[in-house]
Amino acid sequence: MGEISKIPQHVSIIMDGNGRWARLRGLERLEGHKEGVGSVRASLELAVELKIKYLSLFAFSTENWSRPKDEVEGLWNLMFKAIERETEFLIENHVRVLILGNLEQLPQDLQAAVHGLVEATSGGTGTTLIIMMNYSGKWDIMQAANRFSKENPGVEMRPEDMDNYLVTASIPDPDLLIRTSGEERISNYMLWQTAYTEFYFTKVFWPDFRKSEFRLALEE
């Protein structure tokens, strides 16, 4: 095992390849998403161990609504169950959770569960886990610009205003962005916030991205 010379403050991950992981095994796509939840847990555990201050994960993009209804509903169901199952672990490990994105479009019961989780972990002083849900970079920039102009009529927006109106306002920009599954694109993720971010791509599918793979990315 190599050395991690410097622990980044904020690591972000585009979790990709669940469907291909499943297809390779002759399984339904949802089985890949299920297995991917284990990788979320593993990455978070390592982030906590290494005292990484912010770990953000791209869980659902505004473009992902175009997937089959069954798959989208399966994803909500997985998230709902993960929240129920993991809340205690998160509190015990002093993890603070933030869920960012256009949450109004999520099913009502999931919205309630999300708010409950954020509230229940709000006192966490360790790692902040940020789940980007129904998020896209263009949407974020648009909502920031619209909100700013509504609150400051006639005022020209400055870069620092954009920083403060994005949904990531309270969070430093990512130092490192990881994308799994061999795809090497940003897919409308944090467009503004990654202006100076380092990128790391791996061919490993998300369900296989566990602690040792995460370590490799940090070493690199």
Residues serving a catalytic function are: 16, 64
- Part in contact with ligand IPE (CB under 6 A); list of ranges 15-23, 84-92, 103-111, 114-122: 15-23
Q: By the 8 A CB rule, do 11 and 175 touch?
A: yes
Residue 106 sits in the site that holds ligand IPE (CB under 6 A): no
Q: Which residues contact 147 (CB under 8 A, 6 or more apart)?
A: 165
Q: 55 forms bridges with which residues in the sheet?
A: 11, 129
Q: 161 forms bridges with which residues in the sheet?
A: none
Which residue has 């019961």 as its token pair? 109
Q: Which of 12, 13, 15, 16 binds Mg ion (CB under 5 A)?
A: 16
Q: Which of 54, 60, 148, 209 binds ligand IPE (CB under 6 A)?
A: 60
Q: By the 8 A CB rule, do 11 and 176 touch?
A: yes
Q: Which of 18, 168, 197, 202 binds ligand IPE (CB under 6 A)?
A: 18
Q: Which of 9, 27, 53, 64 binds ligand IPE (CB under 6 A)?
A: 64
177 binds, among Mg ion, ligand IPE, none (CB under 5 to 8 A by kind): none
> Distance between CA atoms of 181 and 36, rounded to whole angstroms?
12
Q: How far is the CB of 159 from ligand IPE (least distance, A)?
A: 26
**Total residues binding Mg ion (CB under 5 A):** 1
What are the CA-CA distances from residue 102 to residues 41, 46, 64, 132, 176 (Å)? 24, 28, 13, 9, 24
Q: How far is the CB of 176 from Mg ion (least distance, A)?
A: 20
14 binds, among Mg ion, ligand IPE, none (CB under 5 to 8 A by kind): ligand IPE
Q: Which of 39, 181, 197, 202 binds ligand IPE (CB under 6 A)?
A: 181
Amino acid at 45: E
**Residue 110, CB-side half-sphere exposure with 13 Å CA sphere:** 20
Residues in contact with Mg ion by the rule CB under 5 A:
16
